[in-house]
Chains A and B, each alone.
Chain A
């Protein structure tokens, strides 16, 4: 049993829905496909009918276990981040993933912090290793499968939502891809933004004649700010400014500074947001995952780890490089940063 609470990523696995062309399919989702293509995405992934988030998560997890040469029986903890609407209410996808893997006695935990669930999921694994000497190996699984019954993947926070999962086997004291620190900021003023209006306990069903998707997310946001352009502009400024804040806080906790950052990996947002985030952090756009985002689409909390691995596979990261993995999660809203040393 080890005593170091530091963990490193041993191996990953991934599973995606079918890859589709944005320009060829946008008209299936919105009446103005040009507005979608202007976001900068070229392709995205869509799970086939009947393929669930747990299916993709389990597929990614099996690949990660195989790549790490461990079995489900070797796992001391399974942590799942699930960005979108789960298959059922009152149901725990983390337990369903464990069952699919045959991990019949491994503790599991679920995180639902939308697009940034990756950060608390990894933090939880690190926390478990810090608190419990017996926790040596953990599996962190991040998945996003857009419920098209509840939302429109091409009219969604300025992103094209994409279906995919990534899993990482993490081990105490592993010397590569070490988690150095993290930071989070939550602004509860925005707790109601981008919520799904119908289906929860408050309003279980939409009004007669209405559908689950009849409430425009952006109209709700505008209403929150009383349609005041100045307040909305301040909100936009905050969404990117807070990214820089959490990056700096994570760096400070690790005793590092911005000049040491090799790469910024943000959620797979649209290109305009990438430019704003890169500017806020002082990182050239070419040292972000902006290009990967174009072809992957926004896979919720899976974005950061998928892109981290793609950059490694492409030879764009070297041993010792310092990477900030950032996200904005809504509902919340939460801003996250995890610092990883390659």
Chain B
């Protein structure tokens, strides 16, 4: 019997902006409705995100979405906004780094 051809590895999809907003609100902005979090809201300048929060988000991406960020992506600017976090996760999924 012929072996099945090897299938291409299935990459997890990057979480959506709504997913990310939901996590951020639950973890760092209690009381806010996730739909009210502007995807371009500056989380760094407003001190929502700090060096510890970067690790919490990275751990959430790994644990809940199977997205492992390379070391060089773990810099604050990649977590500045919901949209930036989405792009950072997208690069990891695509295997294209940029910090």
Query: What's the A-B contact tally at a CB cutoff of 8 Å?
Result: 55
Interface contact B55-A229, CB-CB below 8 Å: yes
Residues of A230-289 at the interface with B, using a CB-CB cut-off of 8 Å, are 232-233, 236, 272
On whether the beta carbons of A219 and B44 are closer than 8 Å, the reply is no
Is B93 interfacial (CB-CB < 8 Å)?
Answer: no
Contact residue among B47, B50, B74 (Cβ-Cβ distance under 8 Å from A222): B74
Interface assignment of A218: CB less than 8 Å from any CB of chain B? yes
Alpha-carbon gap, A35 to B44, bound state (A):
7
Tell me whether A32 and B74 are in contact (CB under 8 A): no
The tally of residues in A whose CB lies under 8 Å from a CB in B reads: 20
Contacts of B56 in A (CB 8 A): 229
B76 touches A32 (CB 8 A): yes
Question: Which residues 68-99 of B sit at the A interface, judged by CB distance below 8 A?
Answer: 71-72, 74-77, 80, 99
Query: In the complex, A223 Cα to B72 Cα: how many Å?
Result: 11
Encode B34-62 as 1/0 by CB contact (under 8 A) with A.
00000000101101001110111011000
Asked if A318 is at the interface (CB within 8 A of a chain B CB), the reply is no
Instruction: Mark out the residues of chain A between 115 and 131 whose CB falls within 8 Å of any chain B CB in the assembled complex.
Output: none
CB distance from A229 to the nearest CB of B (A): 4
Q: Are B51 and A216 in contact, with the CB atoms below 8 A?
A: no
**Is the CB–CB distance between A32 and B77 below 8 Å?**
yes
B55, B58, B74: residue with the most chain A Cβ atoms closer than 10 Å: B55
| B residues in contact with A158, CB < 8 Å | 51
| Residues in chain B near residue A30, CB distance under 8 A | 77
CB contact list, A18-32 vs B, under 8 A: 30-32
Determine whether the beta carbon of A35 is less than 8 Å from that of B55: no
With A32-B77, A34-B42, A218-B51 as contacts: A223 and B71 at CB distance below 8 Å: yes
Report which A residues bind B (CB closer than 8 A).
30-32, 34-35, 38, 158, 216, 218-219, 222-223, 225, 227-229, 232-233, 236, 272
